[in-house]
C-alpha cells in the first residue's frame, strides 16, 4: 500500500507566504479539509486541483507518495 503526506504542501505554502487562515477565509477551502491535510488524511482530486491553482504549483508541490516498506517493489496490494 502507498501512503502519502502533505509535507510538500506546508513547504510550498511557507515559500509563497500563504497560511491556513488564508486558505480557509480568502480561498474558501473548508476547515475540515485543512484538518484532513494536517492529519495526512485523503482529499479529493478537486481539492488537489484547487490547492495547485491557489499556490500556482503542481501536485508534487502538495503531496508526496511513499511506498509501504513491507510491500515488495512491483507488487501493489
For the chain, the domain total comes to 1
For residue 75, pLDDT over 70 is answered with no
Cell of 41: 488524511
For residue 54, pLDDT over 60 is answered with yes
For residue 77, pLDDT over 60 is answered with no
* Average pLDDT for the chain: 91
Q: What is the dihedral of CA 68, 45, 19, 15, to 10 degrees?
A: 70
Q: What CATH number did the domain enclosing 58 receive?
A: 1.10.260.40
Domain residues for 47? Answer: 2-67
Instruction: Name which residue leads in pLDDT, 12 or 73.
Output: 12
| Domain-located, residue 74 | no
Sign of CA dihedral 32, 34, 37, 39: negative
> pTM for this one?
0.83
Predicted confidence (pLDDT) per residue in 21-53, tens digit: 999 999 999 999 999 999 999 999 999 999 999
| Domain-located, residue 72 | no
Amino acid at each position: 500500500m502507498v501512503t502519502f503526506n502533505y509535507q510538500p504542501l506546508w513547504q510550498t505554502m511557507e515559500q509563497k507566504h500563504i497560511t491556513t487562515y488564508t486558505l480557509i477565509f480568502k480561498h474558501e477551502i473548508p476547515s475540515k479539509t485543512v484538518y484532513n491535510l494536517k492529519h495526512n488524511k485523503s482529499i479529493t482530486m478537486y481539492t488537489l486541483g484547487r490547492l495547485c491553482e491557489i499556490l500556482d504549483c503542481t501536485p508534487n508541490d502538495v503531496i508526496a507518495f511513499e511506498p509501504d516498506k513491507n510491500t515488495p517493489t512491483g507488487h501493489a496490494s
